Amino acid sequence: MNSRRNFISLVSFLGVSTLLLKGNTYQKIISNNEKILPKVLKKGNKVAVTAPAGAVWDVKQINVFSDILKNFGFEVVLGNSLNLKYGYFAGTDEQRANELNSFFKDKTIDAIFCMKGGWGCARILDLIDYENIKQNPKVLIGFSDITSLLIAITHKTGLITFHGPVGNSGWNEFTSTVFKNICVDGQAITYPENPLSENKINIIKHGIATGELLGGNLTVLTSMIGSNYLPDFKNKILFLEEAKEEPYSIDRMLTQLKLAGVFDNVNAILFGKCNKCVAEEPEKAFTTEQVFEQHFSNLKIPVVTNLMIGHIENKITLPIGALATIDTKQGILKLNNKVVNLN
C-alpha cells in the first residue's frame, strides 16, 4: 500500500508522458543539435556497472545492486573500477575513463549504470572518447557527481542520457517503476495528479514552457561553468537538486548561475527536494525556501521546487536532452518525444 501511495505521489504536480514515434532516424529536438536515442532496454540485455567517480567502500552494495539488475532480467557485467581504490577515486582518471570508453565500445553491452557518485567525473571529461559514444549509443544513467558526465556526453554527442538512481542510492518500487516505464517498457506514461503532503511541490512562478531538459546536481553543474562541456542554456528547462549544503552555499551557487546569465536564458526552472539543506545556525541565516524566493520570485518563467529528484528515496528518472513541456496550472511535466529507440 505504501509503495502504491508513493507511486501515485510522484510529483504532486508531475506528469510525464513519452510520445513513441516510429522510424530509425534520429530526432531533432528544438535545438541545432541532433539527438541520438539509445535503444530501449529488454530482458536478456547485457548491462555494465561502473564507478566513474568515487571509490566503492561498501562492497556489499555491489552484490545488492547486481541482484536488482538481474531481477530486471538483465545480464550483469561488473567493471574493475568497482574494486579499485586510488585515494577517494575508483581507480586513476585513466582507469575510470578507459573502462567507460570500453563499455561504450563493446557492442554486446546495452546500458551502463553508475555505481555511485562522490567526486571524479569532471576529471575524466577530457579522456572520454565522444566519437566512440556517438557511434555506440546506449543508456547511461546516474546522478549527483555523474551530472558532469551526463551533461558533457549529451552536449558533445547528442546522446540522450538519464538523470536517475545510481547503484547505491536505492531502487525501491517507486524508483524502479519510473525507470522501467521510461527505459525498459518504452511506454507513453502519465502520472496522475494526486498530491500528498510529503511530496507536494512548491510553485514559485506559474506558467507553461517547453525546452530541452538540462541539469543535475547544483554544485556539479555550477563547477562546469566556463568549460566547453556545458551547452548553451538558451531554451532549456533547467532542473537542479542538492543535498547537505547550507542555504548560504545554495545562495552563492544560484548567484553564480544568475551572474552567468543562466536565468535569463532558460525557459523554466525545476528544483528538486533539498535534502538536509539547513543552516547550522538557523537563527543567523535564511532558510533554503527563502533563498529560492529571493532568486526566483521575480523571474518571468515557470519555477517550481521540491521536485522528486536527487538525494531522496523516491526519485524520478529525467532524460537530459529530451524535449519537455511544463504546465504548472495543469500540474504536469511531459516528455514531448520518445527518449529510447524501440527498433
DSSP 277-303: ---SSGGGS--HHHHHHHHHTT-SS-E
Domain 22-184 sits in CATH at 3.40.50.10740
**Cα–Cα distance between 115 and 107 in angstroms, integer?**
21
CATH of 197-335, one of 3.40.1190.20, 3.20.20.140, 3.40.50.10860, 3.50.30.60: 3.50.30.60
Compute the mean pLDDT over every residue in the chain, rounded to the nearest whole number.
88
255 CB contacts (<8 Å, ≥6 apart)? 295
Range of weakest confidence among 91-105, 157-171, 172-186, 261-275: 172-186
Quick one: CA torsion of 200, 147, 18, 46, rounded to 10 degrees? -120
311 an active-site residue?
A: yes
Q: How far is CA 41 from the centre of its chain?
A: 18
The active-site residue out of 99, 212, 241, 242 is 241
**Which band of pLDDT confidence, cut at 50, 70 and 90, is reported for residue 222?**
very high
Q: Is 308 within 8 Å of 272 (Cβ atoms)? A: yes
Q: Which residue has the higher pLDDT, 226 or 13?
A: 226
Residues of the chain with CATH 3.40.50.10740: 22-184
Tens-place pLDDT, residues 182-192: 999 875 444 33
H/E segment holding residue 178: helix 173-179
> According to CATH, where is 3.50.30.60 located in the chain?
197-335
Q: Hunting for cell 556539479 — which residue is that?
A: 220
> Quick one: how many helices (H) and strands (E) in the chain?
10, 15
Residue with cell 545556525: 281
pLDDT at 71 over 70: yes
Spot the catalytic one: 12, 144, 169, 176. Answer: 144
Position 15 pLDDT exceeds 90: no
pLDDT at 9 over 80: no
Spatial contact of 190 and 332, defined as CB atoms under 8 Å apart: yes
Q: Which residue has the cell 567493471?
A: 79
Residue tagged active-site, from 155, 163, 295, 311: 311
